[in-house]
Chain A
Amino acid sequence: MSATAADEVRPDKVLHEESYLREGFTLRSWLLTRDHKRIALLYMISVTGFFFLGGSAAALMRLELLTPQGDVVDAETYNKLFTAHGVIMVWFFLIPSIPATLGNFLIPLMIGAREVAFPRLNLASWYIYTLGGLFVVATLIAGGVDTGWTFYTPFSTLFSNTHVILAAAGVFVVGFSSILTGLNFIVTVHRLRTPGLTWFRLPLFVWANYATSIILVLATPVLAMTLSLIVFERITHIGIFDPALGGDPLLFQHLFWFYSHPAVYIMVLPAMGVASEIIPCFARRPVYGYRMMAYAIFGIALIGFLVWGHHMFVSGQSAYASIAFSLLSFIVAIPSAIKVFNWTATLYKGSITLPAPMLYTLGFVGLFTVGGLTGLFLAATALDVHLTDTYFVVAHFHYIMVGGTVMAYLGGLHFWWPKIVGRMYPENWGRIAAVTIFIGFNLTFFPQYLLGAWGMPRRYHEYAPEYQLLNVFSSCGAAILTLGYLLPLFYLVWAMLRGPRAPANPWGATGLEWQTPSPPPKENFSHTPRVVRGPYVYHPNGPAEPQA
């Protein structure tokens, strides 16, 4: 795709012709880099490591749940396992996954910039993440924490005998990593867009990460202070959360969920951004309703801040507040539904191909829809009384976070792998992995909806015998899922080392990131791109029109 618009050479800047991967091979050139692309790769390695660590905890849990008796681990250990799984997966994998890897790599490229606004802050963000990770690993080595990733009081402040403070410190630290990433993205998108790139010409991936960044900067500090209060309470027993001393345990829950509900939108919005890049490309049609998609992203982000009480329907919260939160939770489904309809409409009369990224993304749309609909079940207070703290909830959020976010993350990794490493991944293996993961995922988590509706509680290491069959299905599914996740680990790395070299734009896609070599040079572009049209100008029967 040749640039048809006028371009400018940036004056007096040193231009590197080599790819960013060849700008220095020392450890120092990686650990002290200011290149957002390298920082993205640092994050990618870290989050992958934590994914498999958190996944190991899940594997042990699923092993335990093969039989009704608690015969693999004891109850306390099981509590530590699900806590580790939650803490690691939420804060060290899901939240950073798309923003800190794909977002860091792509956002400057997609807006035609050389770098993010604050490159050193970006590197600091990764170091802070790593420090938080060390705290959490230390917690595991020291014996773990058993409060659940939700740290509910009074158990966490008064009764737990495990390493609550160490774990809380780790999460506190990693929170600042997210805050800095979000701050960087907000300023980058506001101030560094290339000429001609107005807001409504931005790719939806940028919109999605921008909205995510707003949530990151406004919600995460609340979590940081809330965890600090847990630590103070544990040490001093003043009684902020203790009714016997005039405090209120629900104060903790309000504060915790004020962050943690928007946090789930931090986890899903970037995934939606990925889907909006991939579907138009492989349907060869512009996304349906671009502006509505952008508004829906903000609708989700804004209303997502107002629904947190739906985690507290049975906690003793006022019934009137529950009604308000329930209504708001129904409303927040609307912009999500709009997005699902629009992705579907994008496919209509498209010229559809199904390489691995598209398989992952279509899987994302379907599984996210199932997860989202079951969220509505839970938003109905009367139903929630029956379903809360059962496996129904577990299935619901795994459909969104794993069926949704992880699938989209993998789809994005495959879609942009040629750009990131300059080589193509093996397409057949990509498809095999996508299908394996889809099958494994559904086998693991669909039975959990049934288990929950039939009364099996969550966070229990043993259960009544009548639940065993479905638990066996679920555990078998987990084994298949594990295999599915290991496949990309191998063939993507193989591709990075030995795959066939990729052209600048292997998919014929329209974004600015495809207008520069694969992999990009250090400064991203040799000439300042000048944007002349909006994104996704695809045609079902002809070449697409790039943005610049």
Chain B
Amino acid sequence: MNTIPPVRTLVLVWVSLLIWLALTTATSYLHLGLGNTLINLVIAAIKLALIAWFFMHLRHSDAAVRLAAGAAVLFLFFLAFLSFSDFLTRSVLVAPWQGADNFIGQPAQEAAH
């Protein structure tokens, strides 16, 4: 760990983090539908990458450390992805007492069976 970053680099990263913050906040006031969520998540990922790469010195770390960092993110993704493979593909029979706006964003269906 012999590489000490110059102040300039750190400050520039900070400035860019604040710009990304401004962007994510500002765009959330626009009607972009799913785009809002996508933008927010992508920007959050960018911010995390900047923090990890520059502040946490991942750019200078060895393979073992980078693997540790990457592995956690990967497995988080596995958990989400496969769980959602269930949620998204279920055939749901909504009960009469489940009100509007209350389940899977769909209005309650009249008893269909």
Contacts and interface: CB of A to CB of B under 8 A. Distances in A.
A246 B103 contact: yes
A246 B9 CA distance: 47
A324 B85 CA distance: 9
A312 B87 CA distance: 13
A324 B78 CA distance: 13
Interface string A234-268: 00000000001010101100100010000000000
A190 interface: yes
Given A214-B71, A218-B71, A246-B102, A305 B78 contact: yes
B86 interface: yes
Contacts of A370: none
A481 to B, nearest CB: 37
A207 interface: no
Interface residues of B, number: 19
B72 interface: yes
B64 interface: yes
B33 to A, nearest CB: 23
Interface in B72-113: 72, 75, 78-79, 82-83, 85-91, 97, 102-103
Binding site secondary structure of chain B: helix
Given A218-B75, A246-B102, A246-B103, A306 B82 contact: yes
Contacts of B78: 305-306
B82 A321 contact: yes
A244 B102 CA distance: 10
Contacts of B89: 318-321
Contacts of A306: 78, 82
A309 B72 contact: no
A222 B71 CA distance: 14
B82 A325 contact: yes
Contacts of B64: 190
A4 to B, nearest CB: 31
A317 interface: yes
A321 B86 contact: yes
A318 B86 CA distance: 5
Contacts of A309: 82, 86
Interface in B45-73: 64, 68, 71-72
A246 B91 CA distance: 16
Contact of B90 (A218, A251, A258, A318): A318
Given A246-B103, A305-B78, A218 B85 contact: no
Contacts, number: 47
Nearest to B84: A321
Contacts of B97: 244
B53 to A, nearest CB: 21
Interface in B27-44: none
B72 A218 contact: yes
Contact of A317 (B79, B86, B102): B86
A258 B72 CA distance: 14
A337 to B, nearest CB: 23
Contacts of A246: 102-103
A13 B97 CA distance: 74
Nearest to B97: A244
Contacts of A318: 85-91
Contacts of B103: 246
B40 to A, nearest CB: 23
Nearest to B65: A190
B11 to A, nearest CB: 33
Contacts of A316: 90
A323 to B, nearest CB: 10
Contacts of A244: 97
Nearest to B83: A254
Contacts of B85: 318, 320-321, 324
Contacts of B88: 318
Nearest to A254: B83
A218 B82 CA distance: 16
A251 B87 CA distance: 9
A321 B86 CA distance: 5
Nearest to B81: A306
A222 B86 contact: no
A214 B102 CA distance: 39
A260 to B, nearest CB: 13
A75 B89 CA distance: 38
24 contacts: A186-B68, A218-B71, A222-B79, A248-B87, A250-B86, A254-B86, A258-B79, A258-B83, A305-B78, A306-B78, A308-B82, A309-B82, A309-B86, A316-B90, A317-B86, A317-B90, A318-B87, A318-B88, A318-B90, A318-B91, A319-B89, A321-B89, A324-B82, A325-B82
Given A254-B86, A258-B83, A320-B89, 17 more contacts: A186-B68, A190-B64, A218-B72, A246-B103, A250-B86, A254-B82, A305-B75, A305-B78, A306-B78, A309-B86, A312-B86, A317-B90, A318-B86, A318-B88, A318-B89, A321-B89, A324-B82
Interface of B: 64, 68, 71-72, 75, 78-79, 82-83, 85-91, 97, 102-103
Interface of A: 186, 190, 214, 218, 222, 244, 246, 248, 250-251, 254, 258, 305-306, 308-309, 312, 316-321, 324-325
The 4 tightest CB contacts between A and B, nearest first, are A321-B86, A318-B89, A320-B89, A318-B90
